[in-house]
A = this chain, B = another copy of it.
Amino acid sequence: MAPNMSFYDRFRIRHGSAVDLSAIPTDDDGNLDQKATQEATTKLIERIVELQELMYAEGKHSLLIVLQAMDAAGKDSVIRNVFGPVNAQGLNIASFKAPSAIELAHDYLWRIHSVAPRKGTITIFNRSHYEDVLVVRVKSLVPEHRWSKRYEHINQFEQLLEDEGTHIVKFYLHISPEYQKRQFMQRLEDPKKQWKFNPKDLDDRALWPEFQRAYEAALSKCSTDYSPWYVVPAEKKWFRNHLIASVIVDLLESLDMRYPKPDFDPSSIHID
């Protein structure tokens, strides 16, 4: 590796590059040792907790994390396992389902913008504005002349956020249809998990190749220097978690944050 390269750089999409998801293994583990990697991930997660606290104290930056994937790829598991220890006061999760009537009565970025993170906090998007160039494109929910303009809207929106102190990183959790099938079967067999399964989930599964093409377009067009996309091999959960935690720690460290100095002399304070 070149100096300053990280093991995860090869999973970062270059803007405008030709993305072929079928050429990226879904069960890649980076040739890392599982046990040592898990221990390293635990330390990285502790560091994320510290860095969020520092970000809150400093009050200059915020962090937006976008998670996208086919069903059952592990978005909820990432939120639980990588971000579970973050202080709940500094972490928000915004889940985007099919838009409501009031949301549809506005432009598609309206509901997104309203839940952007405030300074000092992390917001995770569980699905996101990318659905507006994914499911919307695959199922022709709006005509092509509308969705085709959205990649540019999205890049400009994300540039705005970055310019104003909201840093963005985006993860596509990459799985195979066979892996999804195994996950669905597990849900169907567990009475505590059956409620998570919706027979309509199989409709999207039937459109797997179309979704992959839509993801490839979004990844290529909307992975930018200021808001990169990573394709995360997601079938080895310990590798998935390590990759994501590593990217987050390095991003937060790069902000060079400092605890603010008080604007009073602490030794001068007298408490009766």
Q: Which residues does A use to contact B, with CB under 8 Å?
A: 57, 76, 79-80, 83-89, 91-93, 95, 124, 126, 181, 184-185, 188-189, 191-192, 194-197, 199, 202, 205-206, 259-262, 264, 266, 269, 271-272
B84 touches A89 (CB 8 A): no
Quote the shortest CB–CB distance from A40 to chain B (angstroms).
22
* Most central of A126, A205, A260, A271 by chain B CB within 10 Å: A271
A83 touches B89 (CB 8 A): no
Copies in the complex: 2
A87 touches B80 (CB 8 A): yes
The complex places the Cα of A181 from the Cα of B269 at a distance, in Å, of 12
- Which A-B residue pairs are the 10 nearest by beta carbons? A188-B266, A194-B262, A89-B93, A57-B195, A195-B260, A181-B271, A88-B93, A184-B271, A199-B264, A88-B91
27 A-B pairs, CB-CB below 8 angstroms?
A: A79-B87, A80-B87, A83-B88, A84-B85, A84-B88, A86-B88, A88-B91, A88-B93, A89-B93, A89-B95, A89-B126, A92-B92, A181-B271, A184-B271, A185-B271, A188-B269, A189-B266, A191-B259, A194-B259, A194-B261, A195-B259, A199-B264, A199-B269, A202-B269, A202-B271, A205-B272, A206-B272
The complex places the Cα of A185 from the Cα of B270 at a distance, in Å, of 9
For A57, list chain B residues within 8 Å (CB). Answer: 192, 195-196
Quote the shortest CB–CB distance from A20 to chain B (angstroms).
23
Chain B, residue nearest A180 (CB): B271
Quote the shortest CB–CB distance from A115 to chain B (angstroms).
11
The complex places the Cα of A126 from the Cα of B87 at a distance, in Å, of 13
Chain B, residue nearest A184 (CB): B271
For A184, list chain B residues within 8 Å (CB). Answer: 271
The complex places the Cα of A207 from the Cα of B124 at a distance, in Å, of 40
Quote the shortest CB–CB distance from A61 to chain B (angstroms).
15
The complex places the Cα of A260 from the Cα of B191 at a distance, in Å, of 9
